[in-house]
């Protein structure tokens, strides 16, 4: 039986008709047409479906859409303003932190959550926090370098 | 992969949640969802009702009460390594929490959820189509265990990372049930039966984990070995707790049996003695005898045996260095 | 080039990097069309069985289901990526040959209903005896996977260069060893998918997550009985391929079939489990190597025998089994080589092209043995490699034409980068270093469809539009082509846009496999750009009163060589062109095919097989934990000669990805199969490396300028994954004194071997 719910995505409120068994990932992509959040494995083992829920990194493939009610959700589409790139996005672009780009939205959002929670994270902490985001293309080196540069920049600005 | 259909409810209190469980045997509670939802996609767990207990307040806390540390069952794992009370008083609990799955699982997953996780088996944690190649196994309602090729028995393994460290601290858990509650040892929560891993009464919900004061101020550590250092369940996990003053040493393993085990034989050999190179060697060889190792995963029992030995050795040596 | 390069050679982000970072880059599952239906595939749960009967009636009646199809509905036209090895139908017709073989397909208004419908299809099977090991499969009396293929050997090769018997007779030392390389899954983050749309005019458009748009068109045409001219294949962004998206898959065929029959767009997206079981994997191979050497350590002869476990269908079988042996002729001089290869059917998932395509397996055996030989002969592993290196310009035993070869430099630099002299044999127990060499062709010549075409258009405002058939799957092919064209035309990369891999618009390119794109498609694009440049120069030379040959285009300016003030802006030049009554845009065409020195086919005669070859050596440092068996790759020093690096940022990306991929193969990954069933078809249980497993990677360039590559470039996409695995396993020997002859070298095997060593 479908139910009417309201979801807060990237600052906008959406009124939707969803089934209880729809995951947040399905609703984002199928109901809202927000295709930036990717389905890599659908079982929570790759991080490609990462979204921010109240600023924290969540696997949207293992979340019920109904469970996202009254929460602030941010997807990759919610980053950067007025067509600009978020510093994380820029760093990935400039430093080659992406190749095929499929894991990238998940990587960037996890990094965002991590950087908001960690004060001047070491390389080891960065690696540990990012270790739920799989990538088959880059070997991770340029991903970590991009994150470190943003982390250092943020530290400098403080 | 779509989830099966179910009725979704948000109980407003723990009593209401317990009622739902008690009235409907095929109802399940939804906490972090990282274990249950994956199993539902595989159709090995198909609850008729999902009761989301995350909207119930009062189950997410960490505090010290009369010396004991009390943690609400819905406390996210990440909180356990971000809260100074835990990182300072029970650092081994923090590092165990940081070893579970990945950062996302630590954000979404709860301590209660991790303890109560479903047992695992290479024939069980597979899609419905995959499993259609064989007879349904006993754990999903069929007749046979493909691990041992015997009927009416289940040899799935308990693979949680949080249990061992809590077991060696003699932790207790609070089980709530329709206005009532009881406190039992964490050890007795686990049935040792692969099909129904938890020994709870109808309608009971785990609400609190209690670490007794006597467990604090002694060395403890959890050592996890997995294929990779993220995402994976342990191939073997070993925790020890060691008190120099009391000459008491406790050992626990996960992913080696149908429940997390306390290595009672090793513990009795160690009782009253100080740790030394010789003693460590003596008990290392006894490690694998504490568990009924079966090939419920893609890792051979012979390998798990060697790992149990190696992890016990390295954790005991860590304890030695600390004292 | 007659001036300093300004675009080629620069570290530059990919043209579509920003779109990918924003999440707006469109992959197959991001495409939605009005009225779109969703398809799902029913797969066999049995490894080998006759299909007796399929009852689809209940599925057809399910509300929301719009179509159900089985093998009985489709034309009797087999397909396969290699024309002479076609052995597959999109849906099995008479029998299923592996657990995962496609049996039926449904399409419905949403994926949930499609999934439900699958469960309502009832298939009656008659189980047949199955065979799971290639060495069993070739025995007399083994079940035949394909009735007409004797001994289950679907492709084989026996090729001799020189005279190995004689050479062995002359050898001072002969060593014989056997090895095994395991099944590996490509595991691209994006699952396979396709979306097909049928136009009432009779035109079929299919978007497919593919590496081979043009081959796909051909195979779809043959199997759907639709002329190629009525079929348009468009490649959207592809989330990784590594070779797994080379082939026609059931999702392509069934999407087209349903679209044609229902008049509505149909999308199929595979589940991750399907990607593991029902697409392709790296062939497991049993390998034996016999090498004869002089007492100085020079290789005189090598005899190589490989049995590849092909799984239930061919895919690239004849190519794979041939390439394995042929490319043993690089980087070492093997004056006499006998290569025997067999591709064997088994009732298991299908082997296909995977980064390196057979060469990593062969290279594992050869590089491992070379180290073992060095040990037995008391030679340094680096020294024996240098001693046996081929060299540019020297006659080659198989008549390969080696114009550039930096191999010796790569050995020296990799050794230096890892600290070889200080570490080899000198580190405490549990730590060690090892190296492995390698070489790879930049695309293989002399197969069908080996030429590439390009069109370059220069517009009135200085904007450049490139049409290329090249299939960018994340490696950055479009960007590299853009840089080549921008350099040639003297514009900036930001002035360029690339339209690629659309069979309805772009010229032909064979696709992304064999690491030929940069050289082949890059050269084609360069020729097209030169054509445009010449047309513009004709007009400008008149205006500047100089000869065409004296003109230089650079950074949006055209000037006379040596007199930079004697010139004009590109903008003015284009104005001049246009007002001189020449049609705009200026269009140039180019096509390029590797030249061959003699007519050859892969099987008949010796001759050159590639326009050029990359060379590399990787040196690994590992640490082994004797308590758990864990092997950690601490550092990889990877020295590579890929000619001129068009974009060092992208080359590094390829290298770093390959090192981690090779590490995965050496230490972490294995497709575990029990009686034909894949036991670990998930990202959880098939554990490829995370950030926690990252080694330190030092990329060391050894640049050569190749005469045939665009601006001197050679391949950098596949060769990089040829050496890491053997380098790591060689390092394990240095660390704990144990020779591992198979991969993966798991902690389990390490502990077992250490225990046995103690006894």
Residues with Cβ within 8 Å of C28's Cβ and at least 6 positions away in sequence, in order, are C190, C193, C194, C195, C207, C208, C209, C236, C238, C267, C269
Does A132 sit within 8 Å of B101, measured CB to CB?
Answer: yes
Calpha distance C500→C378 (Å, rounded):
53
Interface residue of A2, A4, A5, A20 to substitute, partner B, most B CBs within 10 Å: A20
- Tell me the two tokens of residue C714: 């050679």
Asked if C482 and C493 count as a contact pair (C-beta separation under 8 A), the reply is yes
Asked if B311 and C628 count as a contact pair (C-beta separation under 8 A), the reply is yes
Say yes or no to pLDDT of C311 above 60: yes
Nearest residue on chain B to A67, judged by CA atoms? B52
Residue numbers in C near B122 (CB within 8 A): 679-680, 685
- Tell me the two tokens of residue C672: 């575990």
Does C691 sit within 8 Å of B230, measured CB to CB?
Answer: yes
Interface residue of B104, B129, B303 to substitute, partner C, most C CBs within 10 Å: B129
Using the Cα atoms of residue B274, residue B278, residue B279 and residue B281 in order, give the sign of their dihedral. positive
Q: Which of residues 58-97 of B touch A (CB under 8 A)?
A: 78, 82
State mean pLDDT over B204-226. Answer: 97
Cα→Cα distances A141→A130, A148, C635, C663, C715, Å: 12, 11, 12, 14, 21
Over the stretch C141-180, which tens digit does the pLDDT of each residue have? 999 999 999 999 999 999 999 999 999 999 999 999 999 9
Which of B76, B116, B75 is closest to B200 using CA atoms? B116
Calpha distance C712→C486 (Å, rounded):
16
To the nearest whole Å, the CA of C601 is away from the closest chain B CA by 43
Residue numbers in A near C684 (CB within 8 A): 43, 45
Domain boundaries, chain C: 17-24+451-593, 31-128+189-240+245-278, 281-445+600-758
Please give the pLDDT value at position C601: 59
Does C273 sit within 8 Å of B130, measured CB to CB?
Answer: yes
Q: What is the DSSP letter of A64?
A: B
Q: Kindly state the greatest CA–CA separation across chain A.
A: 53
How sure is the predictor about C228, in pLDDT bands with cuts at 50, 70 and 90?
A: very high
Residues with Cβ within 8 Å of C419's Cβ and at least 6 positions away in sequence, in order, are C433, C621
Nearest residue on chain B to A71, judged by CA atoms? B55
Helix (H, G, I), strand (E, B) or coil at B19: helix
Over the stretch B131-147, which tens digit does the pLDDT of each residue have? 999 999 999 999 999 99
Q: Using omega within 30 degrees of 0 as the cis cutoff, is the peptide bond preceding C744 cis?
A: yes
State mean pLDDT over C744-759. Answer: 95
State mean pLDDT over B115-121. Answer: 98
Beta strands at C203-208 and C193-199: parallel, antiparallel or unpaired: antiparallel
Q: Which of residues 18-37 of B touch A (CB under 8 A)?
A: 30, 33-34, 37
Asked if C308 and C134 count as a contact pair (C-beta separation under 8 A), the reply is yes
Please give the pLDDT value at position A19: 97
Nearest residue on chain A to B34, judged by CA atoms? A62
- Entry pTM: 0.97
State mean pLDDT over C434-458. Answer: 87
Asked if A107 and A133 count as a contact pair (C-beta separation under 8 A), the reply is yes
Calpha distance C274→C40 (Å, rounded):
11
Q: Which helix (DSSP H) or strand (DSSP E) does residue C351 occupy?
A: strand C351-352
CA A27 to chain centre: 15
- Tell me the two tokens of residue A150: 């943003």
How sure is the predictor about C602, in pLDDT bands with cuts at 50, 70 and 90?
A: low
Does A38 sit within 8 Å of C691, measured CB to CB?
Answer: no
Say yes or no to pLDDT of C83 above 90: no
| CATH class name, domain C281-445+600-758 | alpha beta
Q: Look at chain A and count its residues.
A: 158
> Residue B217's CB: how many other CB atoms inside 10 A?
10
Percentages helix, strand, coil for chain A, rounded to the nearest 5? Answer: 40, 15, 40
Chains linked to B by 3 or more Cβ pairs within 8 Å: A, C
**Structural domains in chain B?**
1-57 (3.30.43.10), 62-115+158-322 (3.30.390.50)
Residues with Cβ within 8 Å of A22's Cβ and at least 6 positions away in sequence, in order, are A30, A31, A64, A65, B3
Calpha distance C258→C169 (Å, rounded):
63
Same fold, C17-24+451-593 and C281-445+600-758: yes
Say yes or no to pLDDT of B48 above 90: yes
Please give the pLDDT value at position C467: 98
How sure is the predictor about C138, in pLDDT bands with cuts at 50, 70 and 90?
A: very high
Cα→Cα distances C112→A45, B87, C109, Å: 22, 45, 9
How sure is the predictor about C605, in pLDDT bands with cuts at 50, 70 and 90?
A: low
Domain boundaries, chain A: 3-78, 87-153
Q: Which fold has domain A3-78?
A: Ubiquitin-like (UB roll) (3.10.20)
Nearest to C690 among B2, B230, B298 (CB): B230
Nearest to A58 among B30, B54, B107 (CB): B107
Asked if C209 and C471 count as a contact pair (C-beta separation under 8 A), the reply is no
Beta strands at C631-641 and C696-701: parallel, antiparallel or unpaired: parallel
- Which spans in C286-358 are helix H? 317-326
Does A57 sit within 8 Å of B5, measured CB to CB?
Answer: no
Helix (H, G, I), strand (E, B) or coil at C583: coil
Please give the pLDDT value at position B272: 96
Cα→Cα distances C512→B107, C363, C645, Å: 39, 22, 18
Say yes or no to pLDDT of B298 above 90: yes
Report the half-sphere exposure of C638 (CA within 13 A, side-chain side). Answer: 33
Assess if CATH 1.10.150.120 describes domain A87-153. yes
φ/ψ of C161, rounded to 5, equals -105, 120
Q: Which of residues 103-122 of A touch C (CB under 8 A)?
A: 103-105, 108
CATH number of C17-24+451-593: 3.30.365.10
State mean pLDDT over C94-103. Answer: 98
Query: A145 at the C interface (CB within 8 A)?
Result: no
How sure is the predictor about C2, in pLDDT bands with cuts at 50, 70 and 90?
A: confident
State mean pLDDT over C668-686. Answer: 98
Please give the pLDDT value at position C660: 98
CA C592 to chain centre: 20
How sure is the predictor about C449, in pLDDT bands with cuts at 50, 70 and 90?
A: low
Residues C175, C179, C185, CA angle at the centre, nearest 5°?
A: 155
Does A129 sit within 8 Å of B230, measured CB to CB?
Answer: no
CA A37 to chain centre: 7
Say yes or no to pLDDT of C596 above 70: no
Beta strands at C336-345 and C299-311: parallel, antiparallel or unpaired: parallel
Which residues face C88 on adjacent strands? Answer: C79
Rounded mean pLDDT of chain B?
97
Over the stretch C482-508, which tens digit does the pLDDT of each residue have? 999 999 999 999 999 999 999 999 999
Cα→Cα distances C301→B269, C294, C328, Å: 61, 10, 11
> Residue B169's CB: how many other CB atoms inside 10 A?
25
Nearest to B38 among A50, A57, A62 (CB): A62
Which residues face C269 on adjacent strands? Answer: C193
CATH for C31-128+189-240+245-278 (3.90.1170.50, 1.10.10.60, 3.40.710.10, 3.20.20.70): 3.90.1170.50
Cα→Cα distances C618→C375, C413, C639, C720, Å: 19, 9, 6, 9
Calpha distance B279→B262 (Å, rounded):
18
Please give the pLDDT value at position C600: 56
Beta strands at C266-269 and C193-199: parallel, antiparallel or unpaired: antiparallel
How sure is the predictor about C685, in pLDDT bands with cuts at 50, 70 and 90?
A: very high
Which residues face C6 on adjacent strands? Answer: none
State mean pLDDT over C550-578. Answer: 94
Calpha distance B315→C171 (Å, rounded):
53
Say yes or no to pLDDT of C194 above 90: yes
Rounded mean pLDDT of chain C?
95
Say yes or no to pLDDT of C450 above 90: no
Residue numbers in B near C687 (CB within 8 A): 227-228, 231-232
Report the half-sphere exposure of C250 (CA within 13 A, side-chain side). Answer: 29
Say yes or no to pLDDT of C103 above 60: yes
Say yes or no to pLDDT of C597 above 70: no
């Amino acid at each position: 039986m479908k139910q009417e719910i309201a979801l807060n995505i990237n600052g906008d409120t959406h009124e939707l008709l969803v089934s209880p068994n729809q995951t947040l990932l399905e609703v984002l992509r199928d109901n809202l047409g927000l295709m930036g959040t990717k389905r890599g494995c659908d079982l929570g083992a790759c991080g490609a479906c990462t979204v921010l829920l109240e600023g924290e990194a969540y696997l949207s493939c293992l979340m019920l859409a109904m469970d996202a009610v009254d929460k602030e959700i941010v997807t990759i589409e919610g980053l950067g303003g007025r067509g600009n790139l978020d510093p994380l996005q820029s760093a990935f672009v400039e430093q080659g932190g992406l190749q095929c780009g499929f894991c990238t939205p998940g990587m960037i959002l996890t990094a965002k959550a991590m950087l908001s929670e960690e004060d001047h994270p070491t390389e080891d902490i960065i690696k540990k926090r990012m270790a739920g985001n799989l990538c088959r293309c880059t070997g991770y080196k340029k991903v970590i370098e991009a994150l470190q540069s943003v982390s250092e920049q943020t530290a400098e600005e403080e | 992969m779509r989830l099966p259909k179910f009725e979704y409810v948000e109980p407003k209190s723990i009593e209401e949640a317990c009622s739902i469980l008690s009235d409907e045997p095929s109802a399940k509670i939804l906490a972090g969802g990282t274990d249950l939802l994956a199993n539902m996609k595989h159709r090995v767990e198909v609850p008729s009702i999902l009761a989301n207990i995350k909207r119930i307040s009062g189950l997410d806390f960490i505090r010290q009460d009369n010396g004991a540390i009390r943690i609400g069952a819905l406390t996210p794992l990440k909180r356990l390594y971000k809260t100074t009370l835990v990182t300072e008083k029970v650092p081994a609990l923090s590092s165990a929490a940081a070893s579970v799955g990945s950062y996302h699982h630590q954000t979404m997953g709860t301590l209660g959820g991790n303890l109560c996780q479903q047992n695992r088996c290479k024939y069980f944690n597979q899609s419905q189509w995959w499993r259609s190649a064989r007879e349904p196994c006993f754990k999903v309602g069929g007749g046979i265990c493909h691990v041992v090729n015997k009927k009416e028995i289940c040899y799935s393994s308990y693979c949680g990372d949080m249990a061992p460290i809590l077991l060696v601290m003699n932790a207790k858990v609070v089980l709530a049930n329709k206005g009532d509650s009881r406190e039992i040892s964490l050890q007795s929560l686990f049935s040792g039966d692969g099909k129904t891993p938890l020994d709870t009464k109808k309608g009971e919900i785990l609400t609190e984990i209690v670490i007794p004061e006597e467990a604090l101020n002694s060395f403890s550590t959890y050592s996890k070995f997995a294929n990779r250092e993220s995402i994976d369940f342990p191939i073997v996990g070993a925790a020890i707790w060691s008190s120099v003053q009391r000459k008491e040493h406790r050992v626990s393993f996960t992913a080696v049996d149908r429940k997390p085990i306390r290595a009672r034989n090793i513990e009795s050999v160690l009782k009253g003695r100080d740790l030394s190179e010789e003693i460590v060697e003596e008990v290392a060889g006894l490690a694998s005898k504490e568990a009924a190792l079966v090939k419920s995963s893609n890792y051979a029992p012979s390998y798990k045996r060697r790992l149990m030995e190696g992890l016990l050795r390295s954790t005991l040596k860590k304890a030695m260095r600390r004292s | 080039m007659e001036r300093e390069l300004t675009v080629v050679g620069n570290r530059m982000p990919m043209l579509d990097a920003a779109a990918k970072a924003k999440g707006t880059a469109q992959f197959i599952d991001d495409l939605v069309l009005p009225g779109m239906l969703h398809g799902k595939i029913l797969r066999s749960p049995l490894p080998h069985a006759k299909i007796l009967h399929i009852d689809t009636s209940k599925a057809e009646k399910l509300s929301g289901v719009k179509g159900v199809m089985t093998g009985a509905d489709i034309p009797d036209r087999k397909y396969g990526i290699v024309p002479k090895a076609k052995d597959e139908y999109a849906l099995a017709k008479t029998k299923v040959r592996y657990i995962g073989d496609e049996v039926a397909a449904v399409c419905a208004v949403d994926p949930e209903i499609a999934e439900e419908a699958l469960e309502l299809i009832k298939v009656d099977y008659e189980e047949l005896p199955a065979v799971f090991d290639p060495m069993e499969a070739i025995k007399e009396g083994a079940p035949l996977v394909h009735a007409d293929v004797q001994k289950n050997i679907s492709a084989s090769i026996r090729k001799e260069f020189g005279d190995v018997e004689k050479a062995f007779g002359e050898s001072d030392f002969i060593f014989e060893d056997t090895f095994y390389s395991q099944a590996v899954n490509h595991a691209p983050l994006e699952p396979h998918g396709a979306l097909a749309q049928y136009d009432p005019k009779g035109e079929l458009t299919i978007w497919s997550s593919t590496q081979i748009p043009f081959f796909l068109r051909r195979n779809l045409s043959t199997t759907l009985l639709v002329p190629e001219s009525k079929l348009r294949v468009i490649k959207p962004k592809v989330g990784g391929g590594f070779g797994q998206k080379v082939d026609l898959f059931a999702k392509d065929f069934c999407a087209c079939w349903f679209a044609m029959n229902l008049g509505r767009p149909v999308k199929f997206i595979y589940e991750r489990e399907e990607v593991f079981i029902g697409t392709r994997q790296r062939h497991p191979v049993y390998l034996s190597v016999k090498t004869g050497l002089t007492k100085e350590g020079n290789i005189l002869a090598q005899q190589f025998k490989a049995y590849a476990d092909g799984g239930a269908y061919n895919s690239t079988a004849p190519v794979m089994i041939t390439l394995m042996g042929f490319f043993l002729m690089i980087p070492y001089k093997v004056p006499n080589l006998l290569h025997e290869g067999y591709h064997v059917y088994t009732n298991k998932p299908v082997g296909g092209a995977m980064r390196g395509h057979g060469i990593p397996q062969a290279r594992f055996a050869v590089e491992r043995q070379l180290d073992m030989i060095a040990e037995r002969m008391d030679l340094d592993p680096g020294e024996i490699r240098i001693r046996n290196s081929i060299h540019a310009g020297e006659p080659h035993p198989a008549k390969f034409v080696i114009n550039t070869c930096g191999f010796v430099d790569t050995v020296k630099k990799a050794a230096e980068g890892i600290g070889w002299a200080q570490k080899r044999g000198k580190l405490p127990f549990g730590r060690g270093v090892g190296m492995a060499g390698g070489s790879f062709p930049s695309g293989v010549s002399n197969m069908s469809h080996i030429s590439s075409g390009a069109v370059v258009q220069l517009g009135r405002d200085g904007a450049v539009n490139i049409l290329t058939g090249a299939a960018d799957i994340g490696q950055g092919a479009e960007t590299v082509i853009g840089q080549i064209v921008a350099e040639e035309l003297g514009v900036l990369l930001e002035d360029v846009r690339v339209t690629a891999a659309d069979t309805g618009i772009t010229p032909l390119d064979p696709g992304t496999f064999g690491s030929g794109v940069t050289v082949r498609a890059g050269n084609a694009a360069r020729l097209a750009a030169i054509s445009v440049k010449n047309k513009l120069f004709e007009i400008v030379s008149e205006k500047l009163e100089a000869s065409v040959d004296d003109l230089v285009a650079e950074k949006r300016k055209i000037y006379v060589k040596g007199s930079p003030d004697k010139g004009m802006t590109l903008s003015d030049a284009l104005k001049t062109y246009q007002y001189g009554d020449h049609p705009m845009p200026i269009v140039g065409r180019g096509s390029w095919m590797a030249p061959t020195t003699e007519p050859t086919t892969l099987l008949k005669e010796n001759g050159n097989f590639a326009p050029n070859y990359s060379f590399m050596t990787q040196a690994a440092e590992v640490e082994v934990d004797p308590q758990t068996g864990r092997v950690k790759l601490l550092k990889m020093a990877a020295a590579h000669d890929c000619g001129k690096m068009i974009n060092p940022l992208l080359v590094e990306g390829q290298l770093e990805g390959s090192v981690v991929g090779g590490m995965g193969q050496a230490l972490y990954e294995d497709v575990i199969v029990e009686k034909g069933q894949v036991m670990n078809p998930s990202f959880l249980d098939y554990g490829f490396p995370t950030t926690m497993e990252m080694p330190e990677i030092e990329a060391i360039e050894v640049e050569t300028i190749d005469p045939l590559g665009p601006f001197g470039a050679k391949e950098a996409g596949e060769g990089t994954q040829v050496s890491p695995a053997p380098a790591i396993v060689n390092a394990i020997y240095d660390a704990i004194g144990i020779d591992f002859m198979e991969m993966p070298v798991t902690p389990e095997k390490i502990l077992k071997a250490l225990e046995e060593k103690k006894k």
